[in-house]
Structure 1
Amino acid sequence: IKKYLAQNDIDWINKNISKNFTVYYQSGSLTDLGLSSAHLVASLFMSLNIYIIYPLFDTALSKMFDLTNITQGINDIFSNVQQFTKQTWAGEVFKQLLYTAFGLGLVWVFIQSVKSGAGLKAILSVLLVAIIGSAWISAGGTVLTKVNEFTSTAQTAMFTETSNINGQFTDSGDKFESAIRRAYFEKAVIRPYTLANFGTTNLDASEKDGSYRLIGGKADSDVIDALAKSNDYLSKDGGEEWYQASVGLMAPIMSLAYGIPLLMIGVFNLILQLGAILLYYLSPFTVLLSLLPRFSNSALKTGLSALGLLFAKIGLIFGIMFVSWVGTVTDTIVPVTGSASALLNSIVYIVLMVLLWKNKSFLVQTVTGSSMANQALNKIQLTQAGQRAMLAGSEMVNSTKHGLENVKGFSGRHAKDKSEDKSKGKDDEDY
């Protein structure tokens, strides 16, 4: 058992011994209703945790953090989307739209150059957008595939290094997915098992009391009676039956509290990659739109955003470690020394996770660096053409907002007061 736990072989554990991580006790007499009721509650909720909640989350985590299969699947989609974008870009209908947008862009630039006198640079900027846009459409899928592979490798390496700080995963060959599952197994299964039967959170610390003996299987009444002689938690006369019931009651809740944040991080990891696929899928249309000077930053913004989403995957590792550190902080503030402290520890952890969930938007933006693309765009102002492109994008946003406000003016209760516009010299028909 120690060997397979050290190797993070959760599949072997689930197949052979996971069902043995339940609550154990000496049976009392039929007339001792209090003892029987406490044991019933403990067994019921521990079974709910072991047979339903833990397998559900363990399966979900095994799929969401199987980076090898997910990365390969996403890369295949990038390859398919690249073929689609190249075919779309080379299609006859799209060529007509492309020539039209390119012609309009040149006319637009020519008119602006007459006013400002910077015609050559403006024309070169349109040509540059067309050239770089074509290159991105032809090879963007390959670039994104390489970046996706790099960030997945970085995720595994960073998780191994940061996990080794606590000495949990000393084998550098550990797979990312199995390490995550082992961390969840530790919290959702081992912890309630050791708390209920030995009053501790450490499996090895309770080895002399029979922790490995019980999960080894075939723990009949004779084995439990022998261990109960020196263990009040197992003894029918130890007075810990309702403590076991309380730990059993909290076990499913704590499994949810530990599992939901990890599962959400896994889902968000997948969403980031799907978002990059969507942005690349739209690249022919954004490049076409970028040929018009007013919208010249559209292709640049979507391209950098796609790359930024993939690099944001690395930041999710800090989210995983942050969840682990919350549990460590809770154990430090409220160390488990008895039934009361065990319940208080669980309550504090759940309260902290609820507070973090309510502020998840701020945490996600902070952890993943989702503003990376916008920050990069703000720095791309090295030339006059770049400055005009950024200014044009700002004007496009402002004009869109103004248009939406005008549309809202036609709806009943959202209509603006026309007297305000009349005061500015506008009549009703213009409004």
Structure 2
Amino acid sequence: MRTIEERLQEHKQASDRMQAPPELESRLRNALDRVPNKKKKNEAVLWFGLSAAALVLIIGTYQYPALTYYGNKMFNMELNASSFSEAAEEGYGQVVNKSTTLEDGTVITVERVIADDNAFTMHYSIDRPSGSVYSSGSFRYNVGNIQGFMTNSSTIGGGGNSSGDERQYEGVYSFEPISPFSRTLTVTFNEWLENGERVSYPISFKFDASKAMKSLVKEKISQSVSVDSGVMYFESITASPSSTLIKGHIRIDEKEKHWFFGKTQLYVNGMEMNPTRTQVQFNKTTGLSDFELRFDALPTDVISSIELLVKESSGYYKIPESISLASPSDQSIKVGNEKLWIRSVSKTDTGYDVVVASKQFTILDKDNIFAEALGSQIPVSSISSGRPWDLGNGNVLWERTYSFNTSDRPETLHLNGYHYMKTYNKRVTIPIE
């Protein structure tokens, strides 16, 4: 595996070698001298061509960093750190050092930014004035979106630490990727005052897209995994120096009312990667649910295998079951692959309430549940939302109240099935080119 120093040196050498051939000017001049004079009817075309060339020149001059960014991608000039923190320690990215001073003398400084395909990461510091220190209770600052040309990137996450004397806080915030055509970016820090008022402090700085870091792996996956309630489609993987991002979408059966994303693991060279974020969002355009799975950055640039493991996801257990309500207790009842607890059966003003507990993602199918009393079937009239039941041993179950309008005490509870978190262990191998 190459070290970060070796990769930085390779990038510098490659950049130094990127220059026009010495004979290019004379070759172009000779070619122009050989062009015959055109007739007047071609003058309009000539003027149009010159205008277009001038426009391209203006755009190219203004957006040179962005064009350099895309040029590096097209010519495969890859530069990757084995970890984001390593890249920052090596001074990679763009130095900013822009500050703003709050009314009480606190100084907020944007120190460095690093951009890649998966995120825009900002290193910043907050220095308290002399005589005041930090405490967890006095921390009252947050960060808004990064804004610029074609850019309005929301935060992904952040964190940091206070110095030993608690006068300085050093933090890192990650944002959604920004447009490489942004020349000036603005980040807004917010301070919440003791009276509840929010004061905003924008910091603007120039952005050089040519310093963006490129991705180690950027591949289409185009594979799917079927589960009980639908299909999970894995579309792409992008492994940048800051993180590894898996994108896809879910096609859920129309009749399905419950969906649990579950757990999908990423393995690189047989080693499990640490997950950092799972996001599922409904797409109004497609009518599907898009998902993003974020993991830590790849630990090496020598990749022999990449594999996804759909460990668990939404499942449905369908089989008629009858559960006795004669003796409610805190003892579990095995129903299929899961356990249920009949905690109580109590009389109410309108009938009877049956309290049933289960794991958090085990939900009885309410469309096919009823109680039986003296030979009569009584449909459920209402179901409460789930509430935690702390067992006191580190485990927490969830209970719901099922209400039945009947004057007779229910004897049995009938259900047709339940939704739960099912183990699949289905693998998706990602080809590496």
Same fold, TM-score > 0.5, yes or no: no
Which structure would you say has the larger RCO, counting Cα contacts within 8 Å and 6 or more residues apart?
A: 1
Q: TM-score range by the shorter chain?
A: under 0.3
Structure with the largest fraction of helix: 1
Structure with the largest fraction of strand: 2
